[in-house]
Amino acid sequence: MKRGALLGLLLLTACYRVEKPVPAEAASANPAPVARGDGKTLRVFIWSEYIDPEIVAAFEKENGVRVILDTYESNEAMLAKLQGGGAQYDLAVPSNYVVQTMARAGLLQPLDKSRLPNLKNVGTGFLSAGYDPGNRYSVPYQYAATGLAFNKSRYTPPRVSWELIFGPQDTLRFILLDDPREVVGAALKYLGFSANTTDVSQLRAARDLLRRTVAKRGFQGFDGGPGTRNKLLARQIDLGQIYVGDLLIATEEDENVQVALPQEGTTISMDTLVVLRRSPNPELAHRFIDYVLRPEVGAAISNYTYYATPNAAAQELLDDFLKEVPALNPPAEWLKNGKLDFIDELPAGRPQRLYDRIWTELKSR
């Protein structure tokens, strides 16, 4: 895809973070799609604009099959349609923290690894993550991390660290994401803890830190990625917590706008490929997943979507533009040493309630 198309594409792909869930009754207003069990038609449920049509066409030609793509704009909309019971697909592309929910709901079938020889191409740091130990149900597809953005024509940090926000200084104007897990997770990473901790003492430490942070003169409130991006472009703030992909669009307007990953580490979200329990074509579904895991295919998909690839063998085949954005390509050792934390689903009970109370208190100030 030409780089000039980045603006429109990122506007579309960024929507998934703010899209409201589609009511189940609305999702059922149209006839439910049903996958055919003929072994020649693959029905895929995927985010909008999230795969290169040429890649899909090449798979169809190579295998003499037809691939039907149905799209959604949020995990909630995808779940509502699948749990409604009428729709039937072979494959879906949920975000990592939804995989556990889908597995518990009986929506997924275990993967047959013997049918996925190209799984070896995935970087080891992306395999067997906490959301799916052993990759029983899912394989990594594409991902995005959360970073700190700044406009270097207004302010250039000496080093990119969460300390710029959570440290004792109070000279910078900054914004935090309007996302409880991202904000609490950033405070936890600054303190040296996991972004998924359920340790009450660690959560209390994060709560106290965040209380001090939002009391600073420089705190300009919570906002989404697009809002933070626009305020950076307008030089209304010095720093902003942001999803890396949301910031890329700003570089098209002002090359001084930059994003980097804090040295203490950060959070990361991964979209995955899963085979649905009701798939009537599991063999073809596995063949498609293995095709996506090829180096040249994985690179082509990222070159089209501008999301990062977990496919280590695909890295050298990426467009130069993607290679030039360090925040899209965090060091592999960050996944091994705990600097990058996938946001996991929280267990019910006291830790979940404490996360909720921290966020409610911050938002009410």
Residue 179 assigned as binding residue: yes
Sole residue written with tokens 């003929």: 38
> 122: which DSSP letter?
B
Q: Which amino acid is at 6?
A: L
Residue 262 assigned as binding residue: no
Residue 97 assigned as binding residue: yes
Residue 182 assigned as binding residue: yes
Residue 137 assigned as binding residue: no
177 φ, ψ to 5°?
A: -65, 145
Residue 53 assigned as binding residue: no
Give the C-alpha separation, 353 to 123, whole Å: 35
For residues 155 and 239, the answer to whether their CB atoms sit within 8 Å is yes
Q: What angle do CA 217, 219, 223 make, to 5 degrees?
A: 160
Helix (H) or strand (E) holding 202: helix 200-214
Give the C-alpha separation, 127 to 184, whole Å: 25
Give the C-alpha separation, 359 to 365, whole Å: 10
Q: Which residues are annotated as a binding site?
A: 49, 97, 179-182
Q: Which residues are annotated as a binding site for spermidine?
A: 49, 97, 179-182
